[in-house]
């Protein structure tokens, strides 16, 4: 079994046809333990809200996606316990605390974080924390 932290950019690709969706779906393997800070729940909902506003999906489709997301075997980690570390990472990396919560979760769980956020990935891949980040297309 391998454990990875996934961010909302990856989770969205499980349900929405986007570039890198096929790569993201392969993470839904029973041999991979998925975890994320609990921030992923409202962040995922916000992604769907934006898709409705842009008329990319319907409200009913969003409801179905939310139900399917809620049924995933996703281990949620309390953001409150990760906040201090996430804040320090945000200041150090000049990235949002939101993004840094995922990295803090990966560090706490001693695993890699998988992202489809190209900007965040490029910042991390070039630094001392590169071993804790994977691009969505990377092999696990």
Flag whether pLDDT at 140 surpasses 80: no
Tell me which long-range contacts 14-22 makes (C-beta under 8 A, separation of at least 24).
14/69, 14/72, 15/65, 15/68, 15/69, 16/47, 16/51, 16/56, 16/57, 16/65, 20/116, 20/136, 20/137
Give the pLDDT confidence of 36-95 residue by residue, as tens digits.
999 999 999 999 999 999 999 999 999 999 999 999 999 999 999 999 999 999 999 999
- For residue 50, what pLDDT is reported? 97
- For residue 110, what pLDDT is reported? 96
Show the domains of the chain with their CATH numbers.
2-135 (3.40.50.1010)
């Amino acid at each position: 079994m391998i454990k990875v932290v996934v961010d909302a950019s990856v989770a969205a690709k499980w349900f929405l046809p986007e570039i890198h969706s096929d790569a993201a779906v392969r993470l839904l393997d029973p041999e991979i333990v998925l975890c994320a800070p609990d921030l992923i729940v409202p962040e995922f909902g916000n992604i769907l809200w934006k898709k409705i506003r842009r008329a990319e999906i319907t409200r009913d489709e969003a409801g179905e996606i939310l139900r399917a997301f809620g049924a995933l075997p996703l281990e949620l980690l309390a953001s409150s316990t990760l906040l201090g570390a996430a804040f320090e990472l945000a200041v150090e990396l000049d990235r949002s605390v939101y993004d840094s919560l995922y990295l803090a979760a990966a560090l706490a769980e001693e695993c890699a974080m998988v992202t489809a956020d190209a900007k965040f990935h490029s910042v991390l891949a070039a630094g001392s924390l590169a071993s804790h980040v994977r691009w969505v297309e990377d092999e696990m």
